[in-house]
Amino acid sequence: MSASGTAAGQVEHMLRQVTPGRYDAYEALLRALATPSSGQVWMLLWHGQAGSPDAQYGNMEVEGFGYAPCVTSAQELSASGWNRSYEVVDGLDVARTLYPDHYGLWLNPHAPGGGVGIPWLDLRRIATGLERQPAGPLRLSEPGIEIPQFYALLAQNAHRTPAVRALRRAWVQPALGAPYLAIGLDVYDTSPPAVDSVRAMMQQSIGAVPDGLPVSTVAMSDEYDPVALWMRASARPFYDREAHAAPAPAQAPVAGYGYPPARGGY
């Protein structure tokens, strides 16, 4: 079997498993797309030829979100009726190209049911490592767990760490995996010594966390992280070097933050 045939078989096999609510199957599809040996897609070009400087992917909009359409094999290309040029590309490369512009990838839009859309947030996960980011859609809210000793110690240690401007918090419930407490780090300085000082601050504070409670950190400067985006919009700092913020009111959980409504099997 050719490399293209192998790629098509793996991605298409996973694609057929994806149905509403099957986040495990959807994660398997993302893993297939992220694997260079099995994740090729046929990108539909609206302008230009494959490899030419003026080559431009097609685009479509669903629920206000932009996507670049593609097909998953030469057979699907024929079935789609596409009569312009196309480009066969690894899913990993496509993800790296599209997500910075907040574009997703739509697989087989011509198929019965409309195919499956991969939001740009999940393309970012493919581009940066699926295991490094929680599986969405995410449910985010103010933490309901009462751990005042941890917050007090963390704020005290932050005050002694000049690199830290402010700290925020969120309760993150991924589509798959255990929920966890996220601490948003807003820092003045990202030099190696500053990063080391912030890491030491967390290590000095983490002992006050109850056993079994997972804690993660997120950089508030990350313009693409959905947890950081939610914190900037909805969570007031519980420590702020420059202002005395009042305690933040509880926020209602936000379903699917950063993701479009479920469509096309996802």
Domains, the chain: 3-132 (3.40.1350.90), 138-257 (3.30.300)
When pLDDT is cut at 50, 70 and 90, the band that residue 132 belongs to is confident
Range 46-64 average pLDDT: 85
* pTM of the complete model: 0.77
Per-residue pLDDT of 11-53, as tens digits, reads 888 998 998 888 899 999 999 999 987 789 999 998 877 777 8
Helix, strand or coil for residue 44?
Answer: strand
How many Å apart are CA 76 and CA 184, to the nearest integer? 44
The strand pairing partners of 87, in sequence order, are 43
Question: What would the DSSP string read from start to end of 151-215?
Answer: HHHHHHHHHT-TTEEEEEEEEEE-SSS--EEEEEEEES--SHHHHHHHHHHHHHHGGGSPTT--E
pLDDT tens-digit profile of 151-192?
A: 999 999 999 999 999 999 999 999 888 999 999 999 999 999
Which range has the worst mean pLDDT, 43-57, 106-120, 144-158, 190-204? 43-57
Give the phi and the psi of residue 92 in degrees, each rounded to 5.
-60, -40
Q: What percent of the chain has pLDDT over 90?
A: 66
Q: What was the pLDDT predicted at 235?
A: 95
